[in-house]
């Protein structure tokens, strides 16, 4: 082969260089153009993290669409592992806590240990479960002291050298971070719902405190914390029991298969509607991917799964009716001058057509907003509630069981008529005391010979004791269940079954066999009869609608979060048709109307504008006195439905140890007044007639509508002047945005922002008004105070037949 010359060799070299560069150029084109997007992600993603985006919880509305439980935006202080300086964790935490404390902000402090004035650590009171969990988590013995726990925590979280107070605070946060599963994909919330001013100050320290961020979050709020706390329930961090149940059901969190599952620190419904409809209210998490470059800076983010808000649950509750039931129940319990230990009661209102619960009130009560804050904070209010002997957190409307008294006579009458044991014309004579062997029972009906109508109207114990003997318990008991007594009513949020007096339990409770005397006592609502207020309301509604018992319910419908699409609409469920003939029902219904017009409830309802069918009750109770071990007082009970000849609503009221008087009847009257529009109440408990005048409990005008209008105008004028003055003075605080704005239903709430009661010749008596304080002569029927003359115009009134 001939040798190449200098020029040839040069040409070859040039060609080789060109070829090499061509290869590199083609590869560069492939990298930049063909595979550019892929390699761009590679260049940006020295680390890729996927974090969950929490979804807003669904709202809870009343029947009219008013928000009962909703969401509001909050400012939270968060520690994010993506940006934190691990070597400065404790110092950063301490500085943040000092700032929050200085500004009066609460921070999450779950550690059940306090530093005493003597400088020693001690366990907090009423935190036994938390203390046990702490010892277990630290692998310490059951007898480990607070000092032992703190020694372990201080060592574990490198807090040697800190003051005892500072060490305690830092380890509280660090321990909580551990329990919450703090990680790069699970930031820790140090403080929730802080002020806008605090947000600003924290932001100023952003460079000094790496990982500390302010974020917009969503918090549960209740529009009126005292309106229906027992019904709504509340939300809080998932309990161990709830989490274990989720594990069994396969609904716990899994990063690959179930990102919307429950985590150990998730918020969930703890009671009431919040718990019963948890699966509907709980939203579906979304996901966001964060790409971090080589310097640890976030290069880009992408929402890969969009979060879905929870569904909206609309209830049958009427907020206005609920508020009046609350106000009246409280007023008639606290204002009861005839009783020594009257502190508790309940009222339930049902829609007769559907058995939807229009109101469910329990007293004493509590503020659910305060409860939620307490559970997340120092626990003082929560502990105060659970240690209160009156048990304010117990839903007495659904779970309180009470001796019913004479309201039970309605079912006895229906049973005896249906079984042909008596007829409407069957008579018994009462002399004030019914004696049967060793059993002696008083009767306050005033004495005389009564047929069934009169016995119902005047609540004759002698009459119904005789009926009970002839009917027998074996025939009576099934009817009680038909009408919803001693069995569940079907309501969604949990209820007690109560007890229908029966031979087996009588033997167990008293150690003796069932006797005829027990049958007689049962027939007047005594013996072992123990029913809930909602059972009494369902019984009354069943009588009203012709003997067909429906399932009681709070649910009206479920919609999507916006309320635009109906996902589920409640359909009434028939539980039992007792098969009571219309003639039998007619007799009892007429007798119940006579209770109102000439019987034991005439002193309240004789002249009521709408016809009422009702029954009063006074039940002897076991000793419940907190001050006298030998003292007992009767329960006061009352049931009614209205209008009597075209029923719309049924009401049941129970006042424990109310003794005597009109208190239970007064509660029902206030409820009926609101329903039919005779009177209304505002949120402060002020009462108004149809003309807008403010009135007292007797309907007497306190202030005219004109006077009230003048007062409002004057107040508005003063507010306007003050606002103008503040504006002129440049009051910065008046211009500051709310720290926790409460948005309307249409607001765009971000789930998470990752940026920083027949004989006309007889005088009427009253079973429960022997000690009546109304000032009327015993046995007389006083004239009722003049009712409003206008036609009822309540929100559901369809006429009085």
Between 287-291, 294-298, 642-646, the lowest mean confidence (pLDDT) is in: 294-298
Please compute the mean of the pLDDT values over residues 277-283 and round it to a whole number: 95
- With CA atoms as reference, report the closest residue to 685 among 315, 232, 233, 329: 329
pTM of the prediction? Answer: 0.80
Strand partners, 49: 290
* Between 218 and 118, residue with greater pLDDT: 118
pLDDT at 56 over 70: yes
Give me the pLDDT at residue 33, please: 58
CB atoms within 10 A of CB 74: 18
| Closest CA relative to residue 198, chosen from 77, 107, 374 | 77
Residue 725: per-residue pLDDT:
67
pLDDT digits (tens, 9 = 90+) for 537-558: 999 999 999 999 999 999 999 9
**Residue 352 main-chain phi, psi, to 5 deg:** -65, -35
Backbone torsions φ then ψ of 311, nearest 5 degrees? -80, 155
**pLDDT > 80? residue 372:** yes
For position 631, what pLDDT does the model report?
60
3-state SS string over 736-798?
CCCCCCCCCCCCCCCCCCCCCCCCCCCCCCCCCCCCCCCCCCCCCCCCCCCCCCCCCCCCCCC
Query: 767 pLDDT exceeds 60?
Result: no
Question: What was the pLDDT predicted at 672?
Answer: 98
CA angle 6, 11, 13 (to 5 degrees): 95
Task: Say if residue 79's pLDDT is above 90.
Answer: yes
Work out the average pLDDT over 83-93.
90
Domains and CATH numbers, the chain: 319-676 (3.40.710.10), 681-713 (no CATH)
E-state strands within 380-438: 428-430, 433-436
pLDDT value at position 45?
47
Regarding predicted confidence, which is higher, 124 or 730?
124
Q: State how far the Cα of 185 lies from the Cα of 799, in Å rounded to an integer.
A: 61
d(CA 81, CA 282): 27
Mean pLDDT for the chain overall: 85
pLDDT digits (tens, 9 = 90+) for 453-476: 999 999 999 999 999 999 999 999
**Mean pLDDT over residues 751-759, rounded?**
34
Q: What is the pLDDT, as a whole number, of residue 12?
A: 62
Lowest mean pLDDT of 287-301, 325-339, 373-387, 776-790, name the range: 776-790
What's the confidence (pLDDT) of residue 4?
Answer: 56
Beta strands in 364-410 (DSSP E): none
Please classify residue 369 by burial: count the beta carbons closer than 10 Å to its beta carbon, then call 0-12 exposed, 13-18 middle and 19+ buried: middle
Give the pLDDT confidence of 90-126 residue by residue, as tens digits.
999 999 999 999 999 989 998 999 999 999 999 998 7
Q: Which range has the worst mean pLDDT, 417-431, 497-511, 574-588, 730-744? A: 730-744
- Of 63, 44, 20, the closest CA to residue 356 belongs to 63
Residue 661 has pLDDT above 90, yes or no: no
Q: How far is CA 102 from CA 96, 188, 204, 209, 444, in A?
A: 10, 21, 16, 17, 67
What percent of the chain shows pLDDT beyond 70?
A: 83
pLDDT score at 726: 60
Task: Indicate the SS3 state at residue 542.
Answer: helix
Q: Cα–Cα distance between 655 and 666 in angstroms, integer?
A: 11
3-class state of residue 79 by DSSP: strand
pLDDT tier for residue 784 given thresholds of 50, 70 and 90: very low
* pLDDT given for residue 572 in this prediction: 95
Could you identify the residue written with the tokens 């039940």? 619
φ, ψ of residue 721 in degrees (nearest 5) = -65, -45
pLDDT at residue number 472: 94
Q: Are strands 60-61 and 312-315 parallel, antiparallel or unpaired?
A: parallel
Q: What's the pLDDT at 718?
A: 80
Contacts of 82 (CB under 8 A, 6+ apart): 49, 184, 211, 290, 292, 298
The token pair at 92 is 């950063």
Quick check: 123 and 147 in contact, CB under 8 A?
no
Q: Mean pLDDT throughout 638-663?
A: 95
pLDDT(393) > 60: yes
For position 501, what pLDDT does the model report? 93
Higher pLDDT, 652 or 798: 652
2 pLDDT more than 60: no
pLDDT of residue 253 exceeding 70, the answer is yes
**What is the pLDDT confidence band of residue 440, given thresholds at 50, 70 and 90?**
confident
More confident residue, 440 or 625: 440
């Amino acid at each position: 082969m001939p040798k190449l010359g200098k020029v040839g060799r040069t040409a070859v070299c040039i060609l080789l260089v060109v070829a090499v560069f061509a290869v590199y150029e083609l590869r560069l084109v492939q990298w930049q153009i063909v595979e550019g997007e892929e390699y761009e992600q590679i260049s940006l993603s020295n680390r890729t993290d996927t974090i969950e985006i929490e979804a807003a919880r669904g709202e809870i509305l009343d029947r009219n669409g008013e928000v009962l439980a909703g969401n509001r935006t909050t400012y939270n202080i968060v520690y994010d592992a993506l940006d934190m300086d691990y070597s400065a964790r404790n110092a950063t935490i301490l500085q943040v806590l000092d700032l929050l404390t200085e500004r009066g902000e609460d921070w999450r402090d779950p550690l059940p240990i306090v530093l005493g004035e003597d400088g020693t650590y001690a366990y907090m009171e009423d935190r036994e479960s938390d203390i046990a969990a702490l010892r277990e988590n630290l692998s310490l013995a059951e007898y480990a002291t607070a000092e032992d726990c703190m020694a372990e925590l201080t060592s574990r979280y490198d807090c040697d050298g800190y003051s005892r107070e500072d060490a305690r605070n830092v380890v509280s946060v660090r321990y909580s971070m551990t329990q919450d599963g703090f990680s790069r994909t699970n930031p820790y919330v140090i403080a929730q719902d802080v002020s806008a001013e605090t947000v600003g100050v924290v932001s100023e320290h952003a460079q000094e405190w790496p990982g500390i961020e302010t974020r917009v979050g969503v918090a549960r709020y209740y529009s009126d914390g005292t309106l229906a706390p027992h019904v709504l329930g509340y939300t809080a961090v998932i309990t161990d029991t709830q989490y274990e149940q989720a594990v069994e059901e396969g609904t716990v969190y899994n990063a690959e298969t179930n990102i919307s599952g429950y985590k150990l620190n998730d918020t969930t419904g703890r009671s009431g509607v919040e718990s019963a409809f948890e699966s509907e209210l709980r939203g579906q998490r979304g996901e966001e991917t964060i790409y971090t470059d080589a310097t640890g800076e976030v290069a880009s983010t992408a929402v890969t799964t969009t979060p879905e808000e929870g569904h909206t649950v609309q209830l049958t509750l009427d907020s206005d009716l609920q508020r009046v039931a609350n106000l009246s129940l409280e007023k008639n319990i606290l204002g009861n001058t005839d009783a020594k230990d009257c502190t508790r009661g309940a009222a339930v209102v049902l829609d007769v057509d559907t058995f939807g619960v229009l109101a469910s009130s329990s007293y004493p009560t509590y503020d659910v907003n305060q409860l939620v804050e307490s559970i997340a904070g120092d626990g003082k209010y929560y502990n105060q509630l659970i240690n209160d002997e009156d048990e304010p957190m117990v839903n007495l409307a659904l779970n309180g069981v009470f001796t019913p008294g004479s309201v039970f006579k309605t079912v006895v009458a229906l049973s005896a008529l249906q079984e042909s044991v008596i007829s409407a014309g069957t008579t018994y004579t009462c002399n004030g005391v019914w004696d049967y062997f060793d059993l002696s029972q008083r009767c306050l009906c005033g004495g005389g010979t009564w047929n069934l109508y009169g016995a119902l109207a005047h609540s004759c114990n002698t009459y119904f004791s005789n009926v009970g003997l002839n009917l027998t318990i074996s025939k009576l008991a099934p009817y009680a269940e038909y009408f919803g007594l001693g069995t569940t009513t079907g309501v969604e949020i949990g209820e007690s079954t109560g007890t229908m007096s029966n031979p087996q339990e009588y033997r167990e409770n008293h150690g003796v066999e069932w006797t005829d005397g027990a049958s007689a006592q049962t027939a007047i609502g005594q013996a072992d009869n123990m029913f809930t207020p909602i059972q009494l309301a369902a019984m009354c509604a069943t009588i009203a609608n012709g003997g067909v018992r429906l399932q009681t319910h709070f649910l009206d419908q479920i919609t999507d979060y916006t309320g635009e699409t109906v996902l589920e609409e409640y359909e009434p469920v028939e539980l039992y048709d007792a098969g009571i003939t219309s003639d039998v029902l007619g007799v009892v219904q007429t007798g119940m109307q006579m209770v109102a017009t000439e019987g034991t409830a005439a002193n309240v309802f004789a002249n009521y504008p709408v016809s009422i069918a009702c029954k009063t009750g006074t039940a002897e109770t076991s000793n419940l006195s907190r001050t006298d071990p030998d003292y007992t007082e009767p329960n006061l009970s009352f049931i009614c439905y209205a209008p009597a000849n075209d029923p719309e609503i049924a009401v049941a009221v129970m006042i424990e140890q109310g003794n005597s008087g009109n208190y239970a009847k007064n509660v029902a009257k206030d409820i009926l007044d609101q329903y039919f529009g005779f009177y209304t109440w505002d949120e402060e408990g002020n009462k108004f007639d149809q003309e807008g005048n403010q009135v007292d409990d007797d309907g007497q005008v306190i202030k005219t509508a004109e006077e009230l209008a003048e007062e409002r105008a004057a107040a508005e004028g003063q507010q306007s002047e003050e606002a103008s003055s503040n504006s002129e003075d440049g009051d910065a605080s008046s211009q500051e945005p709310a720290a926790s704005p409460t948005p309307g239903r249409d607001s765009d709430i971000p789930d998470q922002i990752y940026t920083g009661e027949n004989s006309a010749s007889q005088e009427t008596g009253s079973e429960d008004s022997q000690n009546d304080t109304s000032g009327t002569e015993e046995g007389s029927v006083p004239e009722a105070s003049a009712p409003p003359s206008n036609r009822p115009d309540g929100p559901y009134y369809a006429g009085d037949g």
